[in-house]
Structure 1
Amino acid sequence: MWENIDIDRHYTGMFQILDEPISGELIYNKQNGTILLSLIKEVNSKSFFGKSYGTQPIITGKLNTGAVVTLFNNRCSNNHTQAFSNQHIVFVSEYMIWSNSESIDSTYNKMVCTLKNAYQWSSFSAFEETETGIKAKDTVDKKTYNWFGAKIIFYSYLNDSLFVPPREEETKIVQHLVLEIETTEKHSVETFVSIRNKVLSLISFAIKNNVNIEEQYLCDYDDSYLIANKYKDYHKHYLYTSEVTLDILKTRSWNYNFWLNDLPEEKDINSELKKLEPVFNLYLSLIKYQDMPSEMVFLNMVQALETFHSRFFYDDKKDKYIKSVTERFGDSERYKKLLLSDTQMDKNCNFIILVSRLNDLLIGKGDGLFCEYYIENDGYAQTIADTRHYYTHYGKSKKAKALKGNDLLEAIYILRVLLEYHVCLSLGIDRRDAIAQELHTHNDWKRLSEIQAKQCKSE
């Protein structure tokens, strides 16, 4: 596993560019996700200014260590000559594969990723309690799902030093969650990375935190070898990408949206996961980008709710929406005002407006979970819509109506909780009681802060 991920690692070797061998140095920084290839070549009398390289889809090389490396999507970021004798070329790469052979058009059957900050979510353990104490398990905890056209397997990792009795004075225990993506047919690196990212987004949503990759490699079932002339294993093609290492937040496990055990292995949620892809991307701006302005976070939360509603309800059709409202609430004036406003019912409006979508999600099952935001304050959804309009266009007409400061942060919180509740419901996980308790606690603290603020003003 990686240690000191913030330092640059340098590897020298010979690299092939446009059928031309050039010696150089490969530089990789895991913390920043930097992959640089620095090359130096002599220029000849025919071209004192060197050669132009532009973007190279693939660069292959053999390092002095003996490893074969293939770099993909390489952009030339620096190209200049020094005293008309040497040309210095620098490429920035999107990702690279370390292997026993070139990986130009390679396809694979399996990707294995060792994850960091996901182990607690799995509820796995490499140990068990016995009458004589705690010992490593004889079997590995594992769960298998069929998502995204692949077999998704989660299992636990325990560092090698504990497979035999420790002999050192100090022994470090390391446990990680391993994600394995397996397909019958072979697929490209890009396909496996796409599936991997979708699974990581699901986990990040579940734990309200970032997940990093300690190590990842790919296997081709036609690229095998024998161990001791007896056991077949597959060559590992290690993948290194330009993705940065994300900050781990101080999210507590009791605040998770759900756990791995909440996703039954036999339940088919492929349709839901596909619909949730853009929703997760918007939601995770809360987590991945801690320095994002609150106005942008607010816009992302509103768009996430709007996207969720359009993908999960009424086929995004106005007529189906109106029919559902009428069937559920009949002639109730309260719900007509909330869900079938004059703007919504205008014959020139052929879509479900944002205010209607928000009120529909706030009402939900009609159990009053978010009643404070559609009964006690029946204009809340309109305020959110006005605020969205202002921070999108910054027009003067909505400036006075837009939420700002602490009120904006409060709205982000409510919208986040609303989204989390409905996303979990779509996955078959009902968190009503937990959400009710969270909102109750939040409102208690809010009222206490308001009382303290009034007392400070009076003093």
Structure 2
Amino acid sequence: MQNNFELNGLWFLPSSADSQLSGKISFSQENGIILDLLGNFNNPEKLLKDSTNEIILGILENGKKVTLLNNAITSRTVNFPGIPTTKYMSLYMLIGGHFIDKKDLIFDEISTEYHNLSEWLDISGIDEQNSDLKQFNLHYSLPEEINFDINDSKMKFRFSANTKSDDIKSFILNQKSEFIVQKEKPIEIFDLLKESLIFQGFLTFGTFESCYPKIIKLKNSNIYESYKEYKIPKQIDLYYKSKINRSKKQKHSLEFLFTYDDIKNNFKSVIDKWYKYDLEIEPIIYLFLNSFYSYNTIFSENKFLEIIHALETFHRRIFKNHVLDKAEYRNKKQIIIDSVPEEHKAWLKDKLSFGNEPSLKERLIELLSEVCKYRIVGKIIKDNEEFIKQVRDSRNYYTHYDFSMEKKALNGSDLYYLTIKLRIILIIHLLILLGIEDEKIEQILQKLEDYHYNFLIG
């Protein structure tokens, strides 16, 4: 998925393999998957009506088979006389096989090479031995796989290496790392991809930078090629347009929030919790990670509202989400509803539906009380009451844009700093949720202070 390319081929629909059209397929992160055809798959009478084809199959000039999924016509020309042309945009491309029906898109392994994965793992097979001014000795051993199971999935980090030498003055060794998910039985492609994307979110959190797939490979152990007595599963390469902002500068591991080495002693427990909580707090994780993935890096009040929404939702999902005992509140609510005329009961019942939920102020008080023991919190928030008031007033104004609240709301750099402080609070709560020890959390937060948010420290 990292390299752009253009390839010629022959293209056809699963229902009409004999009617093949010439065309060019291109892929880039900017434009996605584009198929330019000479001709049109549809009959002339349907030419201006049908604009989608769920599956398109192709054979590339290098002989590889291609399956395009979710294809929509973006433009077409009709010339009389002449040859019509059709341009498709496809959401997904699989190179290495033909899949006639979507139900055939099942796989039992996905292997992904992620941006920053090798740097985050920071595991090398190179060992320098007995080197001096005249002699430089290196020994390399391929690192062992790191295996761990999550639910019914077998996962691992697998290492590979290749070398290049001109035999005279240069020798290059390139070690790569892959994240692999294996299932006992083949499952639907997007369910398998989802399991890999959850780890992508974890890697983005750990590296504090948008992580994206560079290469994605799929396998189904039932789809193989025979070589002598061996059965070799066919490799299917997956391509799709990623909307993730791609960093142009390689970060040093010191700039990561945490590395594998920081959590390796309880990595299995930490990653297990990340997968578990992805189901429970997926909206919070999405809102938090969106600040890394988004192309729009310009700060606006929407980013402030996003982090407030993330914190409120986090508190609602993880903490107690009621003020009074639920039974006590039900009784109080019923007494109040019974006391008003019949024509007002439905309106009042609706208004009281969320009356037992904590206010934003109460949520922030509880969220702050859980993290105040960490040094960075005392450095960035000098007065809890004033901080909560600034958050509440700013949230109310930017939600409703009531002129009466405008003077109380922060704006510009003050709102930006307030947003960063709220972001730090959410980061700490995520670290706690993952079961990382307090001492290690302090070390991680020191990186935030040193490399990312030192401008907040007075």
Shift of 1:418: 1.0
Aligned to 1:328: none
Q: Pick from 134, 138, 153: which aligns with 2:138?
A: 134
Name the CA distance, whole Å, in 1 between partners of 2:153 and 2:289. 24
Say if 2:219 and 2:233, in contact at 8 Å, map to a contact too.
yes
Q: 1:360 is paired with a residue of what secondary structure?
A: helix
Query: Structure 1 residues 318 and 74 mapped into 2: Cα distance closer, same or farther (>3 Å)?
Result: farther
Letter in 1 for 2:61: N
Name the CA distance, whole Å, in 2 between partners of 1:233 and 1:439. 46
Query: Structure 1 residues 383 and 207 mapped into 2: Cα distance closer, same or farther (>3 Å)?
Result: same
Aligned to 1:28: 26
What does 1:262-301 correspond to in 2, within 5 Å? 262=263, 264-267=266-269, 268-269=272-273, 270-294=275-299, 295-301=301-307
Aligned to 2:435: 428
Say if 1:127 and 1:136, in contact at 8 Å, map to a contact too.
yes
Aligned to 1:220: 220
Aligned to 1:385: 392
Query: Structure 1 residues 127 and 14 mapped into 2: Cα distance closer, same or farther (>3 Å)?
Result: same
Say if 2:278 and 2:285, in contact at 8 Å, map to a contact too.
no
Matched-pair identity in %? 21
Query: What is the CA deviation profile of residues 211-237 of structure 1, one whole-angstrom value per residue up to 9, with x for unaligned ones?
Result: 22221111111123344x244421101
Say if 1:69 and 1:98, in contact at 8 Å, map to a contact too.
yes
Say if 1:108 and 1:188, in contact at 8 Å, map to a contact too.
yes
Letter in 2 for 1:122: L
Query: Structure 1 residues 48 and 189 mapped into 2: Cα distance closer, same or farther (>3 Å)?
Result: closer
Shift of 1:183: 0.7
Letter in 1 for 2:422: L
Aligned to 2:418: 411
Letter in 1 for 2:60: L
Query: Structure 1 residues 207 and 373 mapped into 2: Cα distance closer, same or farther (>3 Å)?
Result: closer
Structure 1: state its 5+ residue gaps. Answer: 324-345, 449-459
Shift of 1:17: 6.5
Say if 1:124 and 1:156, in contact at 8 Å, map to a contact too.
no
Aligned to 2:236: 237
Q: 1:284 is paired with a residue of what secondary structure?
A: helix
Letter in 1 for 2:24: L
Query: Structure 1 residues 177 and 396 mapped into 2: Cα distance closer, same or farther (>3 Å)?
Result: farther
The alignment status of 1:53 with 2:50, answered yes or no, reads yes
The alignment status of 1:16 with 2:22, answered yes or no, reads no
Q: Pick from 144, 149, 156: which aligns with 1:146?
A: 149
Name the CA distance, whole Å, in 2 between partners of 1:177 and 1:443. 30
Structure 2: state its 5+ residue gaps. Answer: 132-136, 329-351
Name the CA distance, whole Å, in 1 between partners of 2:30 and 2:146. 32
What does 1:252-271 correspond to in 2, within 5 Å? 252-261=252-261, 262=263, 264-267=266-269, 268-269=272-273, 270-271=275-276
Q: Pick from 311, 315, 321: which aligns with 2:317?
A: 311
| TM-score, with structure 2 as normaliser | 0.80
Query: What is the CA deviation profile of residues 234-266 of structure 1, one whole-angstrom value per residue up to 9, with x for unaligned ones?
Result: 110111112256322565422423222415254
What does 1:22-421 correspond to in 2, within 5 Å? 22-32=20-30, 34-41=32-39, 47=44, 50-102=47-99, 104=101, 105-131=104-130, 133-137=137-141, 139-147=142-150, 149-158=152-161, 160-161=162-163, 167=167, 169-227=169-227, 229-244=228-243, 246-248=245-247, 251-261=251-261, 262=263, 264-267=266-269, 268-269=272-273, 270-294=275-299, 295-314=301-320, 316-319=321-324, 349-364=355-370, 367=373, 369=375, 370-371=377-378, 376-421=383-428
Query: Structure 1 residues 390 and 210 mapped into 2: Cα distance closer, same or farther (>3 Å)?
Result: same
Shift of 1:383: 1.7
Shift of 1:19: 2.6
Name the CA distance, whole Å, in 1 between partners of 2:448 and 2:123. 30
Name the CA distance, whole Å, in 2 between partners of 1:320 and 1:123. 50
How many pairs does the alignment contain? 415
Q: 2:217 is paired with a residue of what secondary structure?
A: strand
Query: What is the CA deviation profile of residues 346-383 of structure 1, one whole-angstrom value per residue up to 9, with x for unaligned ones?
Result: 99722122222222111115536434677724131232
Name the CA distance, whole Å, in 2 between partners of 1:396 and 1:17. 60
Name the CA distance, whole Å, in 2 between partners of 1:35 and 1:59. 12
Aligned to 1:326: none
Say if 2:225 and 2:232, in contact at 8 Å, map to a contact too.
yes
Name the CA distance, whole Å, in 1 between partners of 2:158 and 2:246. 24
Letter in 1 for 2:207: I
Query: Structure 1 residues 284 and 12 mapped into 2: Cα distance closer, same or farther (>3 Å)?
Result: same
Name the CA distance, whole Å, in 1 between partners of 2:201 and 2:122. 18
Query: Structure 1 residues 297 and 126 mapped into 2: Cα distance closer, same or farther (>3 Å)?
Result: farther
Shift of 1:121: 1.0
Name the CA distance, whole Å, in 2 between partners of 1:34 and 1:320. 53
Query: What is the CA deviation profile of residues 78-136 of structure 1, one whole-angstrom value per residue up to 9, with x for unaligned ones?
Result: 13312353322111101011114436323111001112222121121132233463222
Letter in 2 for 1:175: Q
Name the CA distance, whole Å, in 2 between partners of 1:171 and 1:129. 15
Structure 1 residues 266-275 or 431-440, which shifts more? 431-440
Question: Alpha carbon RMSD of aligned pairs, Å?
Answer: 3.3
Say if 2:307 and 2:419, in contact at 8 Å, map to a contact too.
yes
Say if 2:24 and 2:35, in contact at 8 Å, map to a contact too.
yes
Q: 1:25 is paired with a residue of what secondary structure?
A: strand
Say if 2:36 and 2:88, in contact at 8 Å, map to a contact too.
yes
Name the CA distance, whole Å, in 2 between partners of 1:373 and 1:161. 49
Query: Structure 1 residues 402 and 174 mapped into 2: Cα distance closer, same or farther (>3 Å)?
Result: farther
Shift of 1:427: 0.6
Query: What is the CA deviation profile of residues 403-431 of structure 1, one whole-angstrom value per residue up to 9, with x for unaligned ones?
Result: 11111111121112111111011111134
